[in-house]
Amino acid sequence: YYLFSAGQVFVFIAVISVLIWFLHYDTGLDWNNADCAGKPCVFNYHPPMMVLGFLAFGYQGIMSWRMLPDGLSHQTKKFIHLSVQVSGFVLAVVGIVAVFKFHNQHQPPIANLYSLHSWLGLVAMILWGLQVVGAVVSFISGVVPVENRVSFVPIHKHMGVVLYLLALVVMLLGIQEKLGFYQGDKAYAKLTPISQLGNIMGLSIVAIFSVCTTLMIP
């Protein structure tokens, strides 16, 4: 189906953009340094990890049921879907740890959870975690009787799509916030190369948003 592949192209653009942004235009990665002025620092792990974990792995995980060859057994597909989603979640957790570490170790410390981005980001993290736990308990652990499993599938699917959209929205807010930090005095706001890169990344995220709503909404 063409839409899948269009989605893959936009996922690719978003991943490349975030890497160019934080490794090339910004100061690069250093897990042990919380001072970003001119030096590699721990904050710069946050955006790439979130984009890899949620946007890229999330896309492969959600689309895996439809992209994988029909020949594979349901068990195999389930194993792939599970592994991709769990790995993506682990990457995202690393990304969240990075930004809290950055705020706490910065001199002077930066407040945690002051922004709309961070509030919605925390909500998205928690619900994503519950989605993983809920799925593992009901589909893997064997604790839940088969009838109940079946009735949980539509809920899991619906929540999965809504959560993926929410994560995309949180990324857009993160981009908006971070680009604002590069503008000095807001009265002289300019469209700089870095804003163009960030805006293009944002447009590709919206494109993924549209592909997902179109594909997943029957």
Q: By CB under 6 A, name the binding residues for ligand ASC.
A: 36, 43, 110, 178, 181, 186-187, 189
| Residue 11 partner contact from ligand ASC, ligand HEM, its own copies, none using kind-dependent CB cut-offs of 5 to 8 Å | none
The answer to whether 47 contacts ligand HEM (rule: CB under 6 A) is: yes
**22 contacts 74 by C-beta, under 8 angstroms:** no
Nearer to ligand HEM, 9 or 122 (CB): 122
CB atoms near residue 85 (< 10 Å): 23
Picking from 208, 198, 159, the residue whose alpha carbon sits closest to that of residue 178 is: 198
Nearer to ligand HEM, 9 or 100 (CB): 100
In the complex, minimum distance from the CB of residue 190 to ligand HEM, in angstroms, rounded to a whole number:
11
Distance CA 203, CA 217 (A): 21
Nearer to its own copies, 146 or 217 (CB): 217
Which residue in 34, 98, 125, 208 binds ligand HEM (CB under 6 A)?
Answer: 125
In the complex, minimum distance from the CB of residue 196 to ligand ASC, in angstroms, rounded to a whole number:
18
In the complex, minimum distance from the CB of residue 176 to its own copies, in angstroms, rounded to a whole number:
5
Q: How far apart, in Å, are the Cα atoms of 50 and each of 134, 168, 185?
A: 21, 10, 29
Distance CA 173, CA 168 (A): 9
Distance CA 21, CA 18 (A): 5
The answer to whether 50 contacts ligand HEM (rule: CB under 6 A) is: yes
